[in-house]
Chains A and B, each alone.
Chain A
Amino acid sequence: MQYEIKYKPAFSTLVVSLAPGDSITAEAGAMASMDGGLTMKTHFFGGFFSALLKSWFGGESLFANTFVNKSNKTQTVVLTQSSIGDMEALELRGRTFGFESGCYIAHTGNVKIGVAWAGFQSWFSGEGLFKLQASGNGTVFFGGYGGITKRRVTGEFVVDTGHLLAYESNLKLNLGMAGSLMGSITSGEGLVMRLKGNGEIYMQSRSIDGLVNFLKSKL
């Protein structure tokens, strides 16, 4: 399998070439176009119960599609996200990552898609009770609204709840306020995620909630 992320950063789109026998699994609705020789199979996203939890309490799709090349020549599929913005290819290399709702696009290789309890604090921040978790060896493609910035956290770090996309699961997440109660309200920062430990995180430079709040005031 070969891939290229084209039209970065504003309209990032994943173009995947599948050799005979190759396959890629993608979020429901992610396919923009594909060669006629590919076969599409729909299944529960990461197993029945995991899919139900993610869908009901995590804001993910209940189903996912796997595109398989059963022909004898290379076939191409174009995958995209609902939001405009950047896309990232994350090599797991044995690590486990958690993904905020809606940012997962596709995965390939020996990746296990599961569900992780995110806690009530995550629910309060509008991010859902359960989160998508990916582990194993392979590549996970995810995207965001705006650009994507990668950072290694050592010790403690603070990220606005609407801007966190993905994090290594050995980081401990705690919902908190950016400053004092008064300071948090007046600064407009509200709730933030406090991350503790060692691991990589990915942040998006814009948030859909920010856009929604702006539009709400204009309706």
Chain B
Amino acid sequence: MEIQLLQQPDSAIAKVLLERDEEIVAEAGSMVAMSSHIGANTTLKQGKGGGLLGGLKRMLGGESLFLSVYRALSKPGEVYLAPDFMGDIVVYPMAGQELVVQSGSYLASAPSVHIDLGFLGFKQALLSGESLFWLTISGYGELLLSSFGAIYAVEVDGEYIVDTGHIVAFERSLTFDTGKPPGSNWLSAFLGGEGFICRFKGRGTVYCQTHNPGAFGQLVGSKLPPR
């Protein structure tokens, strides 16, 4: 499998070259174009969180129930994949470690990458203000993540704070808790619009997106008539 990222950073699209009989798993609806001999299938199964239950859990996590599987039948082929939002794509090589991905940032992965729905604990979920579920990714192979806006990676060594709406993914080598920014109390954190932050500790990488889809949705959505 070879992945090329085109049109970065504002309208990124991934061109995936598949070897004969190779597969790529992608979020439903993300396929833009493909060679005519590519076989498209849907699956509920992917790793530990497979099956119908896994699919339903993914749905709760803001992903679709089904994942698409594209397979190059009998000869090499190509698939173009793109997310809905204006923004960037990053390729993250999975090599046995664990990565927590914000639901919605998952775009595609090699078949040997496992997608499971991680539950970050009730307090974290309640206080994060984002969807209750995050995806826990493990296994081996390429993983494609997408962002609203540009993606910047922060090598955490010590303590780092990210607004939950700006988290794309983070390495599991980091410990984290949700809370309020230092120096504020709960009331001021909420009033100040920074009520939901994630505090990372230890060593590892956090991938952040420069823009918050929820905030943009609020900006535009608040001006639209109710449906």
Contact = CB atoms under 8 A, between A and B. Distances in A.
Interface of A: 6-7, 10-11, 13, 27-42, 61-65, 68, 78, 80, 82-84, 102, 208-209, 211-212, 215-216, 219
Q: Chain B's interface: helix, strand, loop or mixed, by majority?
A: mixed
B182 interface: yes
B52 interface: no
A79 to B, nearest CB: 10
B125 to A, nearest CB: 20
A32 B164 CA distance: 8
Given A10-B86, A42-B188, 7 more contacts: A11-B149, A30-B193, A33-B166, A36-B199, A41-B183, A63-B188, A82-B215
A162 B192 CA distance: 27
B86 A29 contact: no
Identify which of B148, B189, B194, B216 gathers the most chain A CB atoms within 10 Å of its CB.
B194
A179 to B, nearest CB: 26
Contacts of A33: 154, 160-163, 166, 206, 208
Interface residues of B, number: 43
Given A41-B184, A42-B184, A42-B189, A78 B161 contact: no
Interface string B161-192: 11100100000000000000111100011011
B86 A40 contact: no
Given A29-B215, A35-B161, A36-B160, A68 B183 contact: yes
B192 A216 contact: no
Contacts of B183: 38-41, 68
